[in-house]
Amino acid sequence: MACCFNFFNALGGKQQQQEVKKSILPVSPGKCLVFVMLQLDWLSDDGQSLRNKADMRRQLTLLKTAGVRGVMGDIWWGLCEPQPGKYHFGGVLELCDLLQELGLQLQAVMSFHQCGGNVGDTATYPLPAWALDVAKEKGLLYTSRAGAVSEDCLSLSADKEVIFPSTNGGPRTALQCYQDYMAAFVGATGSHMGTTVCELQIGMGPCGELRYPSYQMSSGWNWPGVGLVMAHDSGMLRMLKAETGMDEPPAALPEEQNALPDDIPCFRAAEPGADASSTGFRSGPCKVFLEWYSSALMRHGRDMLTQATLALHRARCSPSVSGLTFSVKVSGLHWHVTHPSRATEACAGYNCCTSDSADAYCSIAKLLADSAKVAKRPVIFNFTCMEMTNNSSGGVPTALSAPEDLIAQVRRACINHNVPLAGENALEFDLATSGWAFDQMEKQIRSYSPGRDAMHGITLLRLGDGFVKPDSLEALGHFVSRN
């Protein structure tokens, strides 16, 4: 009764109360857990409080009636560690206390990337200046052949470079910076870990995803361009030379980020009747490079998960395996999936092209399975584009887009390695009028058996006033109750 009373009062107005009485709300969480992403700027400008606590309380109170399990929030590195070793987690604690009071949970994203310049970005949070300035000076930011530099995140070539300042001024590696940040977060949230905080998503690249920043809207990229290889920073070139003997990536790789696969010598498909093994991406320098480029990314992912495990040990955090999971976000690069080169994925570091057995998603799933054994807790494979269909290319046949086929490939990889799969929608949609999106996500959820391949959860973009209107809550509640 108290829950219904609070819900009616939060909505306000007799007419709205009458509308609610006709609805199915409140509903309980379903078998497939549903979370909602917070706004990008949910933290105050200094990170020490919620930006608008009253609004958030109102929205979360309403959201709970639709049966969601909780919210996902970015814990921005650039905001919460303004000086080396000086952490501002006051806003995180305030959120955790509020969620605990309301009976909701938090998927906490360790956001070691900048906010701004990507699809859906409505706020700007750069990397911490003390890290960004050093990386610029040392050539440890991802760079294209033409010299375009991405400030989305540090290059993975910075992982073991002992150059970043610490609290006492002594240098540390990028991996040590990430571990220190996660350990400080775990220590600050204390008893909320494994209860209110149910998941740590470990940021591993641009947009928090395990990939290279191969396509950047802020630099003129347009869909369905394949993007660029980002391996020309000093650090990546040193790694490439040491591990392959190559001085630089092959010239046959993309020079124009909006090019299509058959415009690019390395990615051009074989002529009909020709031997596919003779194509650029399956032979010679391109094959060697693409396999190295992908393997370097996989190593980075493994190392980041190791840092998360070490951070928990340092903070003396021992929640039960069921109480806290790790997760890794993998980008749904669905365009040019039906081209033999899988060029978009290859530029981002996902190798599905250099041999018949090349399957980046199997490699990632194996990485997560191996890391879960070390961490002694599940590591979730979090994949985007769950609302998209193979007909979602907007009438652009040159996109060669197949998101449903891609999700099926990811699903098989997760089943084969016994890794839990969760998903997100790629683009925001209006809950009240987009039944098609809910139907497609429900199709993806229900295509799983109730066994080990049962889908773990769905996280929806993005909490705001439109999300908690009566008709939106009703649509969300129906989706939750069916799954």
Tens-digit pLDDT profile for residues 93-122: 999 999 999 999 999 999 999 998 666 667
Give pLDDT < 70 ranges for the chain: 1-22, 117-121, 318-322, 394, 447-453
**Which amino acid is located at 433 in the chain?**
T
| Domain 2-220+289-482 -> CATH class | alpha beta
Please tell me the predicted confidence (pLDDT) of residue 321.
46
What are the CA-CA distances from residue 359 to residues 345, 403, 429 (Å)?
11, 16, 31
What DSSP letter does each residue of 123-144 carry, written as one string?
Answer: S-BPPPHHHHHHHHHHT-EEE-
d(CA 475, CA 444): 18
Tokens of 13: 């107005």
Please tell me the predicted confidence (pLDDT) of residue 394.
67
Check: CB of residue 10 under 8 Å from CB of residue 58: yes
Tokens of 93: 């604690």
Tens-digit pLDDT profile for residues 4-59: 333 334 444 444 444 444 679 999 998 899 999 999 999 999 999 999 999 999 99
d(CA 294, CA 345): 10
Please tell me the predicted confidence (pLDDT) of residue 19.
43
Strands (E), 338-456: 379-383, 421-424
**Which residues are identified as catalytic?**
209, 424
* 86: DSSP letter: B
Closest CA to 175 of 4, 300, 355: 300
Please tell me the predicted confidence (pLDDT) of residue 392.
79
Please tell me the predicted confidence (pLDDT) of residue 154.
99
> Per residue in 206-232, is it b (16+ CB within 10 Å) or e — as a string?
bbbbbbbbbbbeeeebeebbbbbbbbb
d(CA 251, CA 212): 19
Please tell me the predicted confidence (pLDDT) of residue 452.
65
Question: Element (H or E) spanning 149, and its range?
Answer: strand 149-154
**Which amino acid is located at 290 in the chain?**
L
Query: Which residues neighbour 423 within 8 Å (Cβ) at sequence distance 6 or greater?
Result: 382, 383, 384, 386, 407, 441, 444, 455, 457, 458, 459
